[in-house]
């Protein structure tokens, strides 16, 4: 079992227990269950669980479980959500960035590195379509990154699920579409 502060009980400082399998599955997130020990002192609960409250083990050990408690969905739904967040972040952060043949590779790597540090990202690949780049005609002529230039693939791993999200400019609909290209259950 893992101990964590629930959002509603944080103000009272009361501790509750949560079965780790429930927290990991996300399916039962938010369905807090108290155990017989909750009526006892906080010190007893720390001792019962072998947690050194002075060393900050409670905060470190439960951060992911506490965050997961806000998601009332399956691992599959969470992986798709996380992929969408990453793709939207790329689009809304980088569209409008000045781009040219001389900086296109470094811009691709910068976008990838920015996405890689976000939670649950297993891999990311960014390609800026070089055929969309124009030649610079003079000192004041530069081009900004647009949605039709980006091809992005992000792989998310959360729980027992791996999801791949992609962003591509689809000529037929003239739109930089973000979509889920695959979802698979994996053994952990």
Give CA–CA dist 142/122, Å, rounded: 34
Sketch the domain layout of the chain as residue ranges.
2-68, 75-185
- Put simply, whether the predicted model's pTM sits higher than 0.95 gets the answer no
Residue 33 clears pLDDT 80, i.e. is over it: no
Q: Phi-psi category of 155—alpha, beta or left, where left has phi over 0 and alpha has psi -120 to 50? A: beta
Q: Give CATH superfamily name and number for 75-185.
A: 7,8-dihydroneopterin aldolase (MptD) (3.30.1300.20)
Of 85 and 138, more confident: 85
Does the CA dihedral 3-4-9-12 come out positive or negative?
positive
Q: In what order do the strands lie in the sheet with 150-158?
A: 121-128, 150-158, 161-170, 175-185
Sorting pLDDT into bands at 50, 70 and 90, what band is 122? Answer: very high
């Amino acid at each position: 079992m893992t101990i964590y502060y629930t959002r509603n009980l944080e103000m009272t400082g009361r501790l509750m227990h949560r079965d780790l399998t429930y927290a990991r599955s996300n399916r039962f997130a938010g369905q807090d269950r108290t155990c017989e020990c909750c009526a006892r002192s906080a010190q007893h609960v720390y001792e019962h669980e072998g947690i050194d409250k002075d060393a900050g083990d409670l905060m470190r050990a439960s951060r992911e479980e506490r965050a997961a408690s806000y998601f009332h969905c399956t691992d599959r739904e969470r992986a798709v959500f996380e992929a969408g967040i990453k793709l939207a972040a790329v689009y809304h952060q980088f569209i409008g960035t000045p781009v040219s043949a001389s900086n296109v590779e470094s811009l691709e790597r910068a976008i990838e590195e920015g996405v890689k540090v976000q939670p649950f990202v297993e891999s990311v690949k960014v390609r800026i379509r070089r055929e969309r780049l124009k030649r610079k005609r003079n000192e004041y002529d530069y081009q900004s990154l647009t949605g039709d230039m980006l091809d992005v693939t992000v792989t998310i791993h959360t729980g027992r699920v791996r999801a791949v999200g992609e962003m591509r400019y689809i000529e037929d609909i003239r739109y930089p579409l973000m979509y889920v290209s695959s979802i698979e259950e994996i053994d952990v």
